[in-house]
Amino acid sequence: MNSTNTQNIKTFSLLVTSSAWASQGHITALNFAKSVLKANHKIHRVFFYSDATQVANNSSVAPQDELNLSSEWTELATTNDIDLVTCISAAIKRGIIDSQEQTRYQTPANNLADGFNLSGLGQLVDAIIQSDRVVSF
């Protein structure tokens, strides 16, 4: 019998809820994602919820001796066609908005980092449906 490798490929989605700067959750999630991809699996979506949404704020600047988590996520997503979704209600609550929400709320600027999208919890439900595994950090 000749089995194909495609039968062994799993699709993962990640749920990140930990703060980008107050814990190791983002770094652990990034390392996990890189390991999944290195093992030839696929990542469908990374959903950022609660304090994890702060990683999508392009107004935040990482100190020179620290990892720029926003850039790391964007690079990983761009290179591997991964959807980065930031919970819209959690993000807005923390002052993170895109140009559409800027107009809606009449704020002076938008600050959603490149590569990230604002969307609702329906995207998390979709990720759960589309994935073989969902891992939370």
- The verdict on residue 28 lying in a domain is yes
Q: Answer whether residue 108 shows pLDDT above 60.
A: yes
- The verdict on residue 69 lying in a domain is yes
- The verdict on residue 7 lying in a domain is no
What pLDDT is recorded for position 5? 54
Global pTM value: 0.92
User: What contacts 24+ positions apart, CB below 8 Å, involve 64-73?
Assistant: 67/27, 69/20, 69/26, 69/27, 69/30, 70/20, 70/113, 70/116, 72/30, 73/26, 73/30, 73/46, 73/115, 73/116
- The verdict on residue 6 lying in a domain is no
**% of the chain residues with pLDDT over 70:** 95
What pLDDT is recorded for position 6? 59
- The verdict on residue 5 lying in a domain is no
What is the tens place of the pLDDT at every residue in 34-69? 999 999 999 999 999 999 999 999 998 888 998 999
- The verdict on residue 2 lying in a domain is no
Cβ 41 vs Cβ 12: under 8 Å: yes
Q: Which two tokens stand for residue 26?
A: 């983002």
The domain that holds 99 is classified in CATH as: 3.40.1260.10
Please list the residues that pair with 48 across neighbouring strands.
16, 86
Distinct helix (H) and strand (E) counts, the chain: 5, 5
* Cβ-proximal residues to 79 (8 Å cutoff; 6+ apart), any chain: none
- The verdict on residue 4 lying in a domain is no
DSSP 83: E
- The verdict on residue 1 lying in a domain is no
What is the domain extent for residue 49?
13-136
What pLDDT is recorded for position 53? 98
Instruction: Give me the mean pLDDT over the 72-84 stretch.
Output: 98
List, by residue number, the catalytic residues: 87
**CA pair distance 131, 56, nearest whole angstrom:** 23
| Alpha carbon 21 to chain centroid, angstroms | 15
How high is the mean pLDDT of the chain? Answer: 94
Q: How many domains in the chain? A: 1
